[in-house]
């Protein structure tokens, strides 16, 4: 028996997501569909991609939010070497910020503080996997620095023009700061399970607005 729980009505997987300004709830329709006698889909053995060989690097740094952490470790104690999936992985801490031209300095400072020593220690056999998407899909009102945005609007608006330019600027900065270092960009994917405890938040209203873009199992 296949049970389908419909969480959201706003088009899963479409970017940019609809702006939910004025929504009273998260958009959950609270309906369950039950389908019986569902044939099992074909299952094959997973094969690792041969396009990239990360074993050749002495150090691979994962730079970004918790989505990057989940690539390197399955533990919140990610800075402890024994928890990394591979011995040459390094994840320091989350940037905890969306990526825009206004926050670009914060991203650069975070990288220098968290990874600069490791880059020079393992140079030139180093690479960085970087990406930003999850925080860019949250309402701008989550951050005090974005007070110029109307509550409920995405930090990047509906076209992400500023975000795309900031991504380009960040890559150019890494290339100029560490000439020759290989850079891999992490594209957005489904997020790990999230727990939101709004009763503990300093800004409860902003926390509730955040849940409009999240379900129990993913960020939309």
pTM of the model as a whole: 0.67
The whole-angstrom distance between residue 18's C-alpha and the CA centroid of its chain comes to: 19
Average pLDDT over residues 96-108: 90
pLDDT at 40: 79
Average pLDDT over residues 16-43: 68
In the predicted structure, residue 149 carries a pLDDT above the cut 80: no
Paired residues of 31 in beta bridges: 6
Average pLDDT over residues 3-22: 52
At 214 the three-state DSSP class reads strand
Question: Strand locations in the chain, DSSP E?
Answer: 2-6, 31-35, 59-63, 89-90, 126-130, 182-185
Render pLDDT for 49-81 as a digit per residue (tens, 0 to 9): 677 788 889 999 999 988 888 888 876 554 555
- As given in the structure block, the two tokens for residue 126 are 């180093």
Beta strand 31-35 with 59-63 is unpaired
Mean pLDDT of the chain: 75
Average pLDDT over residues 36-56: 77
In the predicted structure, residue 33 carries a pLDDT above the cut 80: no
Render pLDDT for 153-178 as a digit per residue (tens, 0 to 9): 555 666 778 889 999 999 999 999 99
């Amino acid at each position: 028996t296949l049970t389908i729980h419909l969480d959201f009505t706003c088009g899963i997987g479409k970017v940019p997501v609809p702006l939910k300004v004025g929504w009273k709830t998260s958009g959950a329709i609270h309906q369950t569909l039950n389908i019986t006698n569902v044939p099992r889909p074909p299952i094959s053995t997973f094969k690792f991609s041969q396009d990239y060989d990360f074993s050749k690097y002495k150090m691979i740094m994962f730079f970004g939010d918790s989505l990057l952490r989940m690539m390197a470790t399955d533990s919140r104690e990610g800075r402890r070497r024994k928890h990394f999936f591979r011995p040459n992985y390094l994840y320091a801490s989350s940037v905890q910020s969306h990526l825009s031209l206004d926050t670009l300095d914060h991203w650069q400072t975070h990288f220098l503080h968290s990874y600069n020593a490791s880059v020079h220690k393992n140079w030139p056999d180093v690479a960085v996997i970087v990406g930003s998407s999850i925080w860019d899909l949250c309402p701008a009102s989550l951050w005090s620095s974005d007070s110029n945005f109307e509550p409920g609007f995405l930090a990047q608006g509906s076209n992400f023009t500023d975000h795309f330019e900031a991504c380009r600027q960040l890559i150019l900065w890494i290339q100029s700061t560490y000439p020759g270092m290989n850079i891999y960009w992490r594209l957005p994917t489904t997020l790990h399970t999230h727990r939101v405890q709004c009763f503990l938040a300093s800004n409860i209203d902003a926390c509730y607005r955040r849940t409009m873009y999240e379900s129990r199992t993913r960020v939309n």
